[in-house]
Amino acid sequence: MASKDNSFLDQLVNGLGNPKGNLGSWQHAARTFQDDYFRLAPKSKFLYHVFFDINTSALKSGNLKFQHQNEIGLLVKSVDLPKFTLKTATLNQYNRKKVVTMDHDFMPINIKFHDDRAHIINTLWQSYYSYYFADPSSSKTPGAYSRTAMKSASYIKTKYGLDNNVSIPFFNKIVLYQLNKREYVSYTLVNPVITAFSHDTPQSSDQGSAGAENNMTIAYEAVHYDIGSTRSGRVKAFAVDHYDKMPSPLSAAGGGTSTLFGPGGVIEGASDILTSLADGTAFDSPANFLSTAITTVNTYQNAKRLTNAGLAVEGTRLLTAGAVAAATIGLSGVKNVVFPTNNNTNTTTTATQVDLGP
């Protein structure tokens, strides 16, 4: 035990005197992605949302539009973002090569869906297919596909192919969203059409236990972009169906913590309140107004529970955090883990910061 204590003290002294140690170059990359609340950190691929805006006039039944439209995006397993190909030409300008841009093409994107047990994606494809093509309905008519090559044209009474009197697009638009830190970047596909659709391959093999999929390829005529806050409600159908809206106990809306800094602390709660008021989110709906009011009450109650002793501890922790982090380079364990613990009241929780050593 003594040797371990001495080792820790030695690392503490060395850390204070030589905080970067022998090799400190890794910190350059860490600062690049950590500074300014991870502003330059790469986005996570799994934070996305897709909205399919279906034209009501193209549907024989309103169930797909009004009952399942928001669920279609939830069943997207993966999706390509827009792809572009720029056409260029190399010209000869007085024997000097000059590359100029001539045109551009939009590359089709692929969307992979879960083949759900409620048949929503299957119904989406059936609705699209039967809207543009007469064959799905004609194939149910007795004799529609009999051998009639030697018959006259008047003998053919059934419609086939594109003979379906369609002029209105099935999709108004498809919007792809990348989400990150309560913000979004949207890619709106203008006049999207399906160019390919495939069902999965049922099989009895080692791959047969995997979830079934449907694959769709989409072509489009243009793309436009937008950037904004997810709090503004501009992300269509996001956090509407099958979404856990119960706030975390570590957030100010869920109770918060009786601390000045940290998750759910007084400063974070005040920031959430001011942001909601400044961008107008607090007044978008009765639910948002109630959430802002609850956050205000919880933040006020947590501020009343602040003590001089607690503030001193937090201040000391902030001042020593850098030195301790530098001194513990090379030690094993999970550092700075925050766990919610009960503070002996029924309304709030306290965030306890635990340093799990070796």
Residues 165 and 30 in one domain: no
Which tokens belong to 213? 């999929």
Residue 327 included in any domain: yes
pLDDT range class, residue 356, cuts 50, 70, 90: very low
Residue 331 banded pLDDT, cuts 50, 70, 90: very low
Q: Greater confidence, 171 or 291?
A: 171
What pLDDT sits at residue 32? Answer: 78
Tens of pLDDT, residue by residue over 148-158, are: 666 666 666 77
Q: Are residues 192 and 260 in the same domain?
A: no
The tally of domains found in the chain comes to: 3
- H-helix or E-strand spanning residue 270: helix 266-278
Do 24 and 107 lie in a common domain?
Answer: no
| Helix and strand counts by DSSP (H, E) for the chain | 9, 12
pLDDT at 82 over 50: yes
Residue 329: pLDDT band (50, 70, 90) is very low
Mean pLDDT, range 50-58, rounded to an integer:
89
Residue 85 has pLDDT above 80, yes or no: yes
- Reply yes or no on whether the pLDDT at 192 is more than 80: yes
CA angle at 28 for the pair 25 and 32, rounded to the nearest 5°: 160
Q: Kindly state the average pLDDT of the residues 174-194.
A: 93
135-144, 276-285, 334-343, range with the lowest pLDDT: 334-343
Q: Which pLDDT does position 111 carry in this prediction?
A: 96
Judgement on whether residues 271 and 286 belong to the same structural domain of the protein: yes
Kind of pairing between the strands at 213-219 and 109-114 = antiparallel
Chain centroid to Cα 117, Å, comes to 23
CATH number at residue 170: 2.30.110
Confidence class for position 98, pLDDT limits 50, 70, 90:
very high
- Residue 348: pLDDT band (50, 70, 90) is very low
- Domain end, chosen from 179, 206, 232, is at 232
Neighbours of 64 (CB within 10 A): 22
The mean predicted confidence, pLDDT, of the chain is 78
State the virtual CA torsion across 96, 100, 102, 108 in degrees, nearest 10. Answer: 120
Q: What is the pTM of this model?
A: 0.68
Q: Which domain holds residue 313?
A: 244-358
Residues 32 and 133 in one domain: no
* Residue 200 and residue 90 share a domain: yes
> Dihedrals φ, ψ of 48, to 5°?
-150, 165
240 versus 196: the higher-pLDDT residue is 196
**pLDDT score at 246:** 75
Query: Is pLDDT above 90 for 52?
Result: yes
pLDDT higher for 208 or 321?
208
Instruction: Tell me phi and psi for residue 92, to 5 degrees.
Output: -105, 105
- For residue 81, name the pLDDT band (cuts at 50, 70, 90): very high
* Same domain assignment for residues 136 and 115: yes
The helix or strand, by DSSP H or E, that contains position 114, with its residue range, turns out to be: strand 109-114
Higher pLDDT, 346 or 225: 225
Which pLDDT belongs to residue 101?
95
Same domain as 215, residue 66 = yes
Residues 259, 263: Cα–Cα separation, whole Å: 9
SS3 146: coil
One domain for residues 222 and 339: no
252 and 350 belong to one structural domain: yes
Residue range 117-146, pLDDT digits in tens: 989 999 999 989 988 988 887 777 777 777
Residue where a domain stops, chosen among 232, 260, 277 = 232
Q: Residue 191 has what DSSP assignment?
A: S
